[in-house]
A and B are shown apart, each in its own frame.
Chain A
Amino acid sequence: MAIEHVESRLQTFMHPVAPPPGYVQDLGRRLRHKTGSLILLPQPAPRQYTWLLFLSLLSGGVLLVLGVRTLIGLIGALGVAQQVKNQMDSDYPSSFNPAG
């Protein structure tokens, strides 16, 4: 069998097959409905990703420093309060002692 003969058979038997019109319309409707319900977020470019990462790390660092400072401030305030209380207790040891 010659190769031309194989080509001739392929031309004879391979035909385009149209999808059913109802299917095409239905799928088109489903796609449109799906697209309408999609919230398409703009995709950041790679450079934007770098900036986003940098700014995230920076703001994270700032928040961490602020948090540590607040904690130190709180501990300091508690220490001062405790010191004042101790001092008051030592200054007036018998004032509240009815037996004294």
Chain B
Amino acid sequence: MVALSDDEALVKAGEGDSEAFGVLYERYIGRIYNYIYYRTGNAYDAEDLTARVFFRAMHHIETYQNRGLPFSAWLYRIAHNLVANWHRDNSRKQEIPLDERLAAHYPGDEHPETALVVNEERERLLHIIRRLPAERQQLIILKFVEHLSNTEIGQIMGRSEGAVKSLYHRTLLSLRDDLEEIAPPANAKLDGML
């Protein structure tokens, strides 16, 4: 069952085969969770919204139409819409910082001051990223977390490869301006550490 291609699994899942849907679930749970995690900034909401994505996908799998795009594009679109609703509903709440899970990527043998500066810089960068328009956030996450190519990103976002390249360049320029604007001394300090 695990060797099923996406198309085969989709056909079977559309006929009510729960095992086939399970194959798709196991294949994409990590990617969808990552996307939502970086968009919301905390594990609790990432888990809640990821569950909603897969429940919604399961309920509508029989109406899924293969238009030559990867199945993940459909899932990302559901995730994108749910995250947009979540941001709208939480727009008046205080922004929650990314939890400690990301800090686990940094070994504990760093000098405490270095670790502190690195953590601050990471928080600042992620804060700036989350202020970007939704499609730019999506692009950054797909490129740097999912390591997808411009072609794959284009398929997911419904844009041409050239449009993705152009958007990526504009996003980098915007990030550079924001990074320079917010606390340049800390950035300069970090530059020497990285």
Report yes or no: B172 in contact with A36, Cβ–Cβ below 8 A. Answer: no
Inter-chain contacts of B33 with A (CB < 8 A): 17, 19
| Interface pair B22/A28, CB less than 8 Å apart | yes
Find chain B residues with CB under 8 A from A27 CB: 25, 29, 50-51, 54
Tell me whether A7 and B22 are in contact in the complex, defined as CB-CB below 8 angstroms, given that A14-B141, A35-B58 are known contacts: no
Instruction: Indicate whether B180 reaches chain A with its CB closer than 8 angstroms.
Output: yes
Residues in chain A near residue B37, CB distance under 8 A: 17
A residues less than 8 Å from B146 (CB atoms): 16
Tell me what chain A mostly uses at the interface: helix, strand, loop, or mixed.
helix
Chain A neighbourhood of B25, CB < 8 A? 27-28, 31
Cβ B173 vs Cβ A16 within 8 A: no
- Does A19 lie within 8 Å of B29, measured CB to CB? yes
- The closest CB in chain A to the CB of B13 belongs to A35
Q: Which A residues are CB-close (under 8 A) to B143? A: 10
Is the pair A17, B101 in contact by a Cβ cutoff of 8 Å? yes
Is B76 an interface residue when CB atoms closer than 8 A count as contact?
no
Count of residues in A whose CB is under 8 Å from the partner chain: 32
Which residues of chain A have C-beta atoms less than 8 A from B29's C-beta? Answer: 19, 24, 27-28
Our pick among B18, B46, B140, B169 for the contact of A32 (Cβ within 8 Å) is: B18
Provide the residues of chain B in CB contact with A19, threshold 8 Å.
29-30, 33, 46-47, 50
Indicate whether A96 reaches chain B with its CB closer than 8 angstroms.
Answer: no
A6 touches B175 (CB 8 A): yes
Considering the chains assembled together, what is the distance between the CA atoms of A83 and B101 in angstroms?
94
Given contacts A16-B30, A27-B51, A43-B63, contact A3 B176 (CB under 8 A): yes
Task: Output the nearest chain A residue to B14 by Cβ-Cβ distance.
Answer: A40
| Chain B residue with Cβ nearest A35 | B18
Closest B residue to A33 by CB, please name it: B18
In the complex, per-residue mask of B41-53: 1 if CB is within 8 Å of any chain A CB, else 0? 0010011001100
Report yes or no: B21 in contact with A31, Cβ–Cβ below 8 A. yes
Interface flag for B72 (CB, 8 Å): no
Which of B15, B62, B121, B179 touches A1 (beta carbons < 8 Å)? Answer: B179
1/0 per residue A1-42: CB within 8 Å of B? 111011111111111111110011001101110111010100
User: In the assembled complex, how far is the CB of residue A7 from the closest CB belonging to chain B, in whole angstroms?
Assistant: 7
Distance of A18 Cα from B31 Cα, bound (Å): 9
Contacts of A36 in B (CB 8 A): 18
Chain B proximity mask over A40-57: 1 for CB below 8 Å, otherwise 0: 100100000000000000
B176 with A40: CB separation less than 8 A: no
Docked pose: A2 CA to B21 CA in angstroms: 45
Which A residues lie at the B interface, using CB under 8 A?
Answer: 1-3, 5-20, 23-24, 27-28, 30-32, 34-36, 38, 40, 43
Q: What are 6 residue pairs bridging A and B, where the CB atoms are less than 8 Å apart in the complex?
A: A1-B179, A27-B50, A31-B18, A31-B54, A34-B55, A35-B16
